[in-house]
Structure 1
Amino acid sequence: MAEQQLSFDAAKYKNAQREQWNKDGAAWRRWNPTLDRWYGEMTRQMLDLARIQPGQRILDIAAGAGEPAVSAAKRVGPGGYVLATDISEGIVELALQVAREHGLEQIETRAMDGEKLDLPDASFDAVLCRLGLMYMPHPVTALREWRRALRAGGRVAVVVFSTPDRNSWGAVPASIIRRRAQLPPPVPGQPGPFSLGGPGALEGVFRQAGFANPEVRAVPVPHRMGSAAEYVQVAREAFGAFNAMMAHLSPQERESVWNEIEGSMRSFESPGGFEVPGECLVGAATK
Structure 2
Amino acid sequence: MSDPERVRQRQRTEWSAVAPGWQRFREKLGAPTGRITERMVELAGIRPGFRVLDLACGAGDPALTIAQIVGSGGYVLGLDLSQEMVRAARAEARRQNITNAGFRAIRSELEPGVPAGSFDAATCRLGLMFMPDPAAALRELHRALRPGARVAVSTWGRPERNPNFSIPLEIIGRHAGLPPQGPMTPGLFALPTPEHLEAVLRAAGFEEVEVEVLRTPAVRARDAETFWRGVSTVAAPIASILDSLTGEQRRRIREDALATLGEIFPDGPVELEGEAVLGAGRRRAPAL
Indicate the TM-score class for this superposition, using the shorter chain for normalisation.
over 0.9
Q: In the alignment, what sits opposite 2:45?
A: 51
SS of residue matched to 2:243: coil
Identity, % of aligned pairs? 37
Q: Which moved more, 1:192-201 or 1:105-114?
A: 192-201
Q: In the alignment, what sits opposite 1:244?
A: 240
Residue pair 2:86, 2:103 contacting (<8 A) in 1 also: yes
Residue pair 1:268, 1:275 contacting (<8 A) in 2 also: no
Q: In the alignment, what sits opposite 1:5?
A: none
1:94 maps to 2:103: no
Q: In the alignment, what sits opposite 1:185?
A: 180
Q: In the alignment, what sits opposite 2:117?
A: 122
Cα distance per residue 1:126-159 (max 9 Å; x no partner):
1111110011110001001110011101111112
TM-score in terms of structure 1 length: 0.92
Residue pair 1:161, 1:194 contacting (<8 A) in 2 also: yes
Q: In the alignment, what sits opposite 1:152?
A: 147
Q: In the alignment, what sits opposite 1:227?
A: 223
Q: Which moved more, 1:165-174 or 1:245-254?
A: 245-254
Q: In the alignment, what sits opposite 1:265?
A: 261
SS of residue matched to 2:153: strand
Could you say if the C-alpha distance between residues 97 and 281 of structure 1 is closer, same or farther in structure 2, counting changes exceeding 3 Å? same
Distance 1:196 1:20 in 2: 20
State the shift of 1:237 in Å.
1.0
TM-score in terms of structure 2 length: 0.92
Could you say if the C-alpha distance between residues 249 and 93 of structure 1 is closer, same or farther in structure 2, counting changes exceeding 3 Å? same
1:27-66 alignment, distance < 5 Å: 27-66=21-60
Residue pair 1:115, 1:136 contacting (<8 A) in 2 also: no
State the shift of 1:184 in Å.
2.8
Cα distance per residue 1:88-114 (max 9 Å; x no partner):
011101101111211110111100122
Q: In the alignment, what sits opposite 1:255?
A: 251
State the shift of 1:270 in Å.
5.2
1:280 maps to 2:282: no
SS of residue matched to 1:140: helix
Residue pair 1:181, 1:245 contacting (<8 A) in 2 also: no
Query: Which residue of 195, 210, 214 maps to 1:215?
Result: 210
AA aligned to 2:129 is M
1:83 maps to 2:83: no
Q: Which moved more, 1:153-162 or 1:175-184?
A: 175-184
State the shift of 1:248 in Å.
3.0
> Gaps spanning 5+ residues in structure 2: where?
284-288
Distance 2:205 2:263 in 1: 44
Query: Which residue of 184, 193, 196 maps to 1:198?
Result: 193
Residue pair 1:156, 1:286 contacting (<8 A) in 2 also: yes
RMSD: 1.6
Between Structure 1 and Structure 2, how many residues are aligned? 280
Q: In the alignment, what sits opposite 1:22?
A: 16
State the shift of 1:247 in Å.
3.5
Distance 1:180 1:205 in 2: 35
AA aligned to 1:252 is E
AA aligned to 2:10 is A
Distance 1:190 1:181 in 2: 20
Distance 1:188 1:45 in 2: 24
